[in-house]
Each structure stands twice: as structure tokens, then as C-alpha cells.
């Protein structure tokens, strides 16, 4: 019976740690929405455009590991808010480049650091064996939760990546199990 108690305690520790990660992501998403009115993917796209000066939708999609359709939808929303504008390439009329507006630059100056940037800085300080163990454990955890085949981008945010309202909870992190 003692072994069972230890097992239950370990399971509880894992679930608490997992819940803390989910909660931290949720809280940070809400903080971004409150301070900037933007989602983490929107800020990530703005930062990427700033870094490149201009970028095609394909370049942006590759850079942030999102589909071109998702990037286009996010750009549509950013354009409506006058944070970006798109312009057809002079050299190749088939290409459209996204650019930051002055308002977009100002928004980025005042935006807090996205959670994944903070995570990246912390992760980079780890030794290689620690990085490998974390990756392995998280991949195994995803498998144990039947989540290994769920499409996900490396953007720490909750909900739908191209949602209109940053606080919308219309999508769940995991699909509902079949009845």
C-alpha cells in the first residue's frame, strides 16, 4: 500500500507541474492581451517583421512555424489595427511583403517580452543533457496524454492562434474525447 501512496504522490506532482505550465501560459496570454491588446502569435509576427524589415507571408510562416493561412489571418487582424501594411513586391509582382507601421513599431517598444522569449533565455542556459532530458520527458508526456499528433506551433499561447479577441476561450487545448 505504501508503494501505491508514493505512486499517487508522484502522479499528483506531475499533474501539478503540468497545471502550473498551462496556468503560466494562460496568465501570460491574459497579461499580453491586457497590456497590448495582442496575442503572443501577433507579437511574434510583429517582432519577426521588425527583424526582417519586410517579409513575405511564406517567409513569416517559415520563421514562426505557422501555416501561411494562419499568418495571413493574423496579418489581416494586425492590418485592421494599423500595425502592419502589405505591399506588392516591385521585383516580383507575385510576392507581397508585410511591413510594420509606425504604430506597430511603437506597440512593440511597449510590449512585454513574450513568455517563449523568457523560456528560450532560461533554456539556453541549461547544459545539453538537461535540455535533452526536458525534451524527452515532454515528448513522453505528450504521448501519454495522446497528444503527440496534435498540431502545435512553438508559440506559448492558449487557444486559437488567429483569434480576434485575445481573451477568447472558444478552443480547448485538447480535443474532447470521443463518447
Domains annotated on the chain, with CATH: 2-119 (1.10.10.10)
Give yes or no for a contact between 49 and 60, defined as CB atoms under 8 angstroms apart.
Answer: yes
Q: Quick check: 32 pLDDT over 80?
A: yes
User: Could you give the percent of the chain with pLDDT greater than 70?
Assistant: 84
Q: What does the pLDDT read at residue 121?
A: 92
Q: What is the mean pLDDT of the chain?
A: 83
Give yes or no for a contact between 83 and 74, defined as CB atoms under 8 angstroms apart.
Answer: no
Confidence of residue 115 (pLDDT cuts 50, 70, 90): confident
pLDDT in tens, 57-103: 999 998 888 889 999 999 999 999 999 999 988 888 888 899 999 99
Beta carbons within 8 Å of 64's beta carbon, 6+ residues apart: 41, 44, 45, 48, 71, 153, 155
Q: Quick check: 171 pLDDT over 80?
A: no
Confidence of residue 156 (pLDDT cuts 50, 70, 90): low
User: Could you give the percent of the chain with pLDDT greater than 90?
Assistant: 41
Task: Indicate the pTM of the whole model.
Answer: 0.69
Q: Which three cell numbers stand for residue 122?
A: 532560461
Q: Quick check: 18 pLDDT over 50?
A: yes
Amino acid at each position: 500500500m505504501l508503494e501505491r501512496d508514493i505512486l499517487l504522490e508522484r502522479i499528483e506532482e506531475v499533474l501539478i507541474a503540468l497545471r502550473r505550465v498551462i496556468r503560466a501560459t494562460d496568465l501570460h496570454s491574459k497579461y499580453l492581451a491586457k497590456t497590448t491588446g495582442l496575442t503572443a502569435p501577433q507579437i511574434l509576427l510583429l517582432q519577426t517583421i521588425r527583424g526582417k524589415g519586410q517579409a513575405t507571408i511564406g517567409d513569416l510562416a517559415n520563421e514562426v512555424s505557422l501555416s501561411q493561412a494562419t499568418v495571413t489571418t493574423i496579418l489581416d487582424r494586425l492590418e485592421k489595427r494599423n500595425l502592419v501594411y502589405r505591399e506588392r513586391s516591385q521585383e516580383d509582382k507575385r510576392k507581397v511583403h508585410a511591413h510594420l507601421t509606425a504604430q506597430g513599431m511603437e506597440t512593440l517598444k511597449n510590449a512585454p517580452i513574450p513568455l517563449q522569449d523568457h523560456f528560450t533565455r532560461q533554456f539556453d542556459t541549461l547544459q545539453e543533457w538537461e535540455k535533452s532530458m526536458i525534451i524527452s520527458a515532454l515528448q513522453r508526456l505528450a504521448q501519454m496524454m495522446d497528444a503527440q499528433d496534435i498540431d502545435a506551433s512553438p508559440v506559448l499561447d492558449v487557444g486559437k492562434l488567429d483569434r480576434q479577441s485575445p481573451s477568447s476561450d472558444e478552443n480547448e487545448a485538447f480535443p474532447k474525447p470521443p463518447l
